[in-house]
Structure formats: C-alpha cells, structure tokens
C-alpha cells in the first residue's frame, strides 16, 4: 500500500476511534436522571427480588447523614411521592393497583419513612411493603 493511501486511511479512522472512545466512556457512567432501581420496576419483579432490590436501594441511596432534600430527590427519581408531617417524619410511598390471576384486584404499596435531625439530615430510612385486597 502506498504511503498516500496509508495516511488517508489513518485520517479516516481517527474520528471513528474518537467517537467509539467517547461512547464507551459516556456509557460507563450511570445517569443521575435514571436510577438503577425504581419502585415501579419492583412491581414487575418476583416478590423476593423486589424486596431485595428495594432494601438495597434504601441502604445504598438513603444513608444516615444524607441531606433530606437530596434524599427526596432520589426517592422522586425512584417513583415515590413524599409528604412531610409535623413530627419530623417524611412518608414517601408508591402504590399500584394490580390484578392477580383469577381476576382479584388489590393494591401493592411501598413506603419509605425518613426521620431527620435538626440539621435536616436523615437519621433513619425505614422500608415497608404492603399488599391489600388480594385473595390468598
């Protein structure tokens, strides 16, 4: 191959190699807008996997000492709706009405309760899961 064609070939490959490198670097970092877990996704997992995933989310994403506004933002991205009360506890929940085999309807509700200190930091995050209205 002549040196002229080698230079043209190398020049053509540089933008492609740069684009590939950029794609690999960008895809390796998780997006802050899309959490690795959401309570909506949990509704479509088997019960054990959903509970494990939800428990891991609370442990990893809502540690003690985290600022409450950041905790609320993380919960919102995971499909939770949060409401503070006068006692200093913020209750966040996600519920979905669903049908089971046999035609029974019920509600599947996930709740996270955040307790805070006077500096507006989380002291504890408690997870609960309740299913109501389903026939056994």
Q: For the residues 88-117, what does the mean pLDDT come to?
A: 86
d(CA 19, CA 54): 36
Which of 11-20, 29-38, 79-88, 119-128 holds the top average pLDDT? Answer: 119-128
Tens digits of residue pLDDT in 40-49:
999 888 989 9
Are the beta carbons of 74 and 58 closer than 8 angstroms? no
Q: What is the pLDDT of residue 136?
A: 55
pLDDT at 41: 92
Q: Between the ranges 33-37, 63-67, 97-101, 129-133, where is the mean pLDDT highest? A: 63-67
Dihedral sign for Cα atoms in the order 19, 24, 29, 33: positive
Dihedral sign (CA 79, 77, 37, 84): negative
pLDDT in tens, 57-87: 999 999 999 999 999 999 999 999 999 887 8
Residue 38 has pLDDT above 80, yes or no: yes
- Mean residue pLDDT of the chain comes to 79
pTM assigned to the model = 0.69
Residue 9 has pLDDT above 60, yes or no: no
From start to end of 2-135, where are the E strands?
A: 81-84, 89-99, 105-116, 122-132
Provide the 8-state DSSP code for 67.
B
Cβ neighbours around 94 below 10 Å, total: 20
């Amino acid at each position: 191959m002549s040196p002229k064609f080698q230079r043209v070939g190398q020049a053509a490959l540089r933008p492609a190699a740069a684009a590939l490198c950029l794609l690999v670097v960008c895809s390796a970092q998780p997006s802050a807008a899309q959490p690795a877990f959401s309570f909506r996704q949990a509704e479509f997992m088997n019960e054990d996997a959903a509970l494990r995933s939800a428990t891991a989310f609370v442990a990893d994403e809502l540690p003690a000492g985290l600022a409450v506004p950041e905790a609320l933002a993380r919960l919102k991205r995971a499909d939770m709706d949060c409401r503070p009360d006068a006692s200093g506890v913020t209750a966040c929940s996600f519920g979905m009405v669903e049908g089971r085999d046999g035609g029974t309807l019920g509600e599947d509700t996930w709740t996270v309760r955040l307790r805070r200190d006077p500096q507006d930091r989380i002291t504890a995050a408690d997870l609960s899961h309740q299913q109501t209205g389903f026939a056994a």
